Amino acid sequence: MTTASPPSPAKPSFKVRMMQAREDAIIASVNRLLAEKGFEAMTVDEVAAEVGIAKASLYKHFASKEELACAAMVAAMRRAQDFIAQQPPQASPLDKLRATTRWTMALKLQGQMPSLPSQNSSLRATLMSSREYMDGLMEVSDVLGGWIEEAQARGQLNATLAPIVVLYTLFARACDPVLEFLRMGGQHSDEQILDMVMSTCFEGLCAR
């Protein structure tokens, strides 16, 4: 790495910033397509067309379709980490869990939540071998897991449930088909839909 450029925290060159911006545009498109139709149904041609560049150019940025999707998943994970980190420390753990869950569902409703690959998708292996993705997933799990145990200790969450079950249940809200079903019905606003699904998730279906 011996170049003529100035030492470490240097302003990125115009060229580098252009490339970064293009990669961001690519990832945004991939993110949207992943949310709309899933990894298998998404084609690299579509991505290239939507971004407005040649397919061969895409492959200069990402080595494969799996890497492409993985980059989008990593970016999504980072957004989740950012949101979680911004939660006010004085808020109750349950409030933080509720806010995070609602945020993921809002993303899903807006068609911006990339859907997880099914069991034996080729993407699964790539994700699991991605340091960035797995690290992000683990940090998110750790933080949410901590909030869950705290909320159980305070009697806010059902303490008879294994924390892992609560964690998975909240994760699953990010791909809950109920959201799109209700939106297709056209009877409710997005906010109403979020309120209703939040209620079924935390309060349950049975009367209280």
| Residues binding DNA (CB under 7 A) | 15, 19, 22, 42-45, 52-57, 59-61, 63-66
DSSP 111: T
Closest CA to 30 of 5, 54, 51, 57: 51
Q: What does 79 interact with, of a copy of itself, DNA, none (CB < 5 to 8 A by kind)?
A: none
Least distance to a copy of itself from the beta carbon of 137, Å?
12
Least distance to DNA from the beta carbon of 62, Å?
8
Per the CB < 8 A criterion, the answer to whether 107 and 175 are in contact is no
Which of 42-59 are b and which e, b meaning 16 or more Cβ less than 10 Å from the residue's Cβ? beeebbbeebebeeeebe
Per the CB < 8 A criterion, the answer to whether 35 and 112 are in contact is yes
Tell me, rounded to whole angstroms, the distance of Cα 163 from its chain centroid.
21
Least distance to DNA from the beta carbon of 197, Å?
32
Among 121, 126, 128, 145, binds a copy of itself (CB under 8 A): 121
Asked if residue 181 binds a copy of itself (CB under 8 A), the reply is yes
Q: What does 157 interact with, of a copy of itself, DNA, none (CB < 5 to 8 A by kind)?
A: a copy of itself
Asked if residue 200 binds a copy of itself (CB under 8 A), the reply is yes
Strand, helix or coil for residue 139? helix
From the list 2-10, 12-20, 46-54, 153-161, the region that binds a copy of itself by CB under 8 A is 153-161
Instruction: Calculate the alpha carbon distances from 116 to 32, 41, 177 in Å.
Output: 13, 13, 13
Q: Smaller CB distance to DNA: residue 45 or 142?
A: 45
Per the CB < 8 A criterion, the answer to whether 124 and 175 are in contact is no
**Contacts with a copy of itself, residue ranges (CB under 8 A):** 36-38, 40-41, 94, 115-116, 118-121, 152, 155-159, 161-162, 164-166, 168-172, 175-178, 180-182, 185, 187, 196-197, 199-208
